[in-house]
């Protein structure tokens, strides 16, 4: 890949001779800031150019989290060596079947693929093979795996960042935003090549491939049974009637947000919902005295808020939500000592063994196995608990073969410690 337009950062004095070179500040994409493709003719031009390119295709997506309802893509960025960089507007071009057919057989390069794959799938774009640069960085034990730090460490380029949390539903898109979006994909082929070589050198290429193959079928987690329980600060509501108020207000806010295509927090903050649940107002007048329910967007829907509160206050006692949901997994680790001291000792031994394994292979513990899977196996180990049964239990929980080969002995030793 040709280096994007860059300049060295200004310095008051020359650096010491043994100092690492200053990263090049990437200012603009190599071919300039691309326009937004928002017509069928423009899409045809993009596909023709990309078809003339070579190698994998770098893909990214931008959403409008915190501004719009849901996690749909408002911009799709594409880059291919010798094929240029293209910014596609999926709102203006809802039919992207031609793009989907083109990119499907190519290797995709993404950074933090689980963040983008669900919204890309919503518009019909699904990979058959991919390379995730963030995950590659994790498997290599890199200290910082955000795109900017990885590009700086691996390629010596300092990306001009700053618009990741912008409202990407904005039209027209400002030029500086388009430059930011283009750079995010323009650097990916070179980063993929560098990390791919590093994985080979570290003997981790096959492990990475297992992880990438698993990501091809990645889907966003299903909706929670009670999503309103994720309301920030809900732990301060300590009775079931108050929880009913929180639930009713959260669900009404969600309906309004969907209707208006706005992020729920822009209509009514979580703090207002929790406040109403902690001390439910007893009249519409009392509700109106609370600023969040009387000013701004919140004030426009005061009658709906009051109706929701009334419905919660009128619920029969038997229909009130429980104070806490009972999960299907083991209890939180802090409770293991009181409920099952032997299980707590197993978990402590496993944590120590996994920490040592993490240091030996320079891989974060969470990439060796998810904490939940380890806790499930250790809380109630299979009978008999041996290498075969532990391996099968981990496989059933979605742990990959390379991970099982490393952590199964650790868990077996945690369950059957050597006699001192």
CATH number for 293: 1.10.150.80
User: Residue 48: which of 120, 109, 99 has the closest Cα?
Assistant: 99
Long-range contacts of 22-27 (CB under 8 A, 24+ apart): 23/152, 23/156, 23/157, 23/158, 24/156, 24/157, 24/158, 25/158, 25/160, 26/157, 26/158, 26/159, 26/160, 26/183, 26/187, 27/160
Asked if residue 191 and residue 57 are part of one domain, the reply reads yes
User: Residue 283: which of 298, 301, 305, 299 has the closest Cα?
Assistant: 305
Tokens 């430059």 -> residue: 179
Q: Which of 100-114, 221-235, 251-265 is least confident? A: 221-235
Question: pLDDT tens digits for 40-93?
Answer: 999 999 999 999 999 999 999 999 999 999 999 999 999 999 999 999 999 999
Asked if residue 232 and residue 209 are part of one domain, the reply reads no
Would you say residue 8 has pLDDT above 90? no
Asked if residue 198 and residue 288 are part of one domain, the reply reads no
So what's the pLDDT on residue 420? Answer: 39
Would you say residue 5 has pLDDT above 70? no
Asked if residue 121 and residue 212 are part of one domain, the reply reads yes
Q: Which of 15-29, 252-266, 280-294, 348-362 is least confident? A: 15-29
Q: Is residue 258 part of a domain?
A: yes
So what's the pLDDT on residue 47? Answer: 98
User: Residue 96: which of 117, 66, 69, 76 has the closest Cα?
Assistant: 76
So what's the pLDDT on residue 162? Answer: 73
Q: Is residue 60 part of a domain?
A: yes
Question: pLDDT tens digits for 256-273?
Answer: 999 999 999 999 999 999
Asked if residue 184 and residue 252 are part of one domain, the reply reads no
Segment 371-398 mean pLDDT = 96
CATH number of residue 29's parent domain = 3.30.420.10
User: What's the pLDDT band for 20 if we cut at 50, 70, 90?
Assistant: low
Into how many domains does the chain fold?
3
End-to-end CA distance of the chain: 58
Q: Is residue 237 part of a domain?
A: yes
Q: How far apart are CA 224 and CA 153, in angstroms?
A: 38
The rounded mean pLDDT for the chain is 93
Q: Is residue 325 part of a domain?
A: no
Q: Is residue 154 part of a domain?
A: yes
Would you say residue 334 has pLDDT above 90? yes
Q: Which of 179, 196, 216 is the last residue of a domain?
A: 216
Would you say residue 10 has pLDDT above 50? no
Would you say residue 250 has pLDDT above 80? yes
Asked if residue 355 and residue 304 are part of one domain, the reply reads no
Helix (H, G, I), strand (E, B) or coil at 194: helix
Asked if residue 312 and residue 182 are part of one domain, the reply reads no
Would you say residue 12 has pLDDT above 90? no
Q: Which of 172, 197, 216 is the last residue of a domain?
A: 216
Asked if residue 97 and residue 168 are part of one domain, the reply reads yes
Question: pLDDT tens digits for 271-322?
Answer: 999 999 999 999 999 999 999 999 999 999 999 999 999 999 999 999 999 9
Q: Which of 288, 319, 350 is the last residue of a domain?
A: 319
Question: pLDDT tens digits for 197-209?
Answer: 999 999 999 999 9
Q: Is residue 222 part of a domain?
A: no
Asked if residue 31 and residue 141 are part of one domain, the reply reads yes
Asked if residue 343 and residue 281 are part of one domain, the reply reads no
The domain containing residue 387 runs over which residues?
333-415
Asked if residue 244 and residue 207 are part of one domain, the reply reads no
Q: Is residue 98 part of a domain?
A: yes
Which has the higher per-residue pLDDT, 327 or 33?
33
Q: Is residue 324 part of a domain?
A: no
Q: How far apart are CA 190 and CA 208, in angstroms?
A: 18
Asked if residue 58 and residue 21 are part of one domain, the reply reads yes
């Amino acid at each position: 890949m040709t280096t994007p337009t860059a300049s060295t950062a200004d310095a008051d004095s020359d650096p010491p001779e043994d100092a690492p070179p200053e990263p090049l500040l990437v200012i603009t994409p190599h071919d300039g800031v691309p326009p937004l493709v928002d017509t069928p003719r423009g899409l045809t031009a993009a596909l023709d150019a990309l078809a003339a390119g070579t190698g994998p295709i770098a893909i990214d997506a931008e959403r409008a989290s915190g501004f719009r309802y849901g996690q749909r893509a408002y911009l799709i960025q594409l880059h291919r060596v010798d094929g240029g960089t293209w910014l596609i507007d999926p709102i203006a071009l809802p039919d992207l079947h031609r793009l989907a057919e083109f990119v499907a057989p190519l290797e995709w390069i993404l950074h933090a693929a689980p963040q983008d794959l669900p919204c890309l799938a919503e518009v019909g774009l699904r990979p058959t093979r991919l390379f995730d640069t963030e995950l590659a960085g994790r498997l290599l034990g890199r200290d910082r795996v955000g795109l900017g730090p990885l590009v700086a460490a691996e390629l010596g380029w300092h990306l001009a960042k700053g618009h990741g949390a912008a409202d990407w539903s904005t039209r027209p898109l400002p030029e500086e935003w388009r430059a930011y979006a283009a750079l995010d994909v323009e650097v990916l082929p070179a980063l993929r090549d560098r990390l791919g070589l590093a994985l080979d050198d570290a003997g981790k290429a096959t492990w990475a491939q297992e992880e990438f193959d698993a990501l091809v079928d990645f889907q966003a987690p299903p909706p929670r049974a009670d999503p309103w329980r994720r309301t920030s600060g809900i732990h301060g509501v300590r009775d079931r009637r108050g929880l009913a108020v929180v639930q009713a207000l959260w669900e009404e806010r969600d309906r309004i947000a969907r209707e208006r295509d706005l992020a729920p927090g822009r209509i009514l903050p979580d703090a207002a919902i929790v406040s109403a649940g902690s001390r439910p107002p007893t009249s519409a007048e009392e509700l109106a005295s609370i600023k969040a329910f009387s000013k701004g967007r919140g004030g426009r829907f005061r009658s709906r808020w009051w109706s929701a509160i009334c419905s919660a206050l009128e619920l029969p006692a038997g229909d009130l939500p429980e104070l806490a949901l009972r999960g299907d997994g083991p209890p939180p680790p802090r409770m293991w000592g009181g409920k099952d001291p032997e299980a707590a000792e197993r978990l402590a031994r496993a944590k120590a063994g996994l920490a040592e394994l993490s240091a030996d292979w320079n891989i974060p513990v969470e990439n060796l196995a998810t904490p939940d899977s380890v806790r499930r196996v250790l809380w109630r180990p299979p009978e008999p608990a041996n290498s075969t049964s532990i391996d099968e239990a981990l496989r059933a929980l979605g742990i990959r073969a390379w991970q099982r080969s490393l952590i199964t002995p650790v868990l077996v030793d945690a369950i059957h410690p050597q006699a001192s």
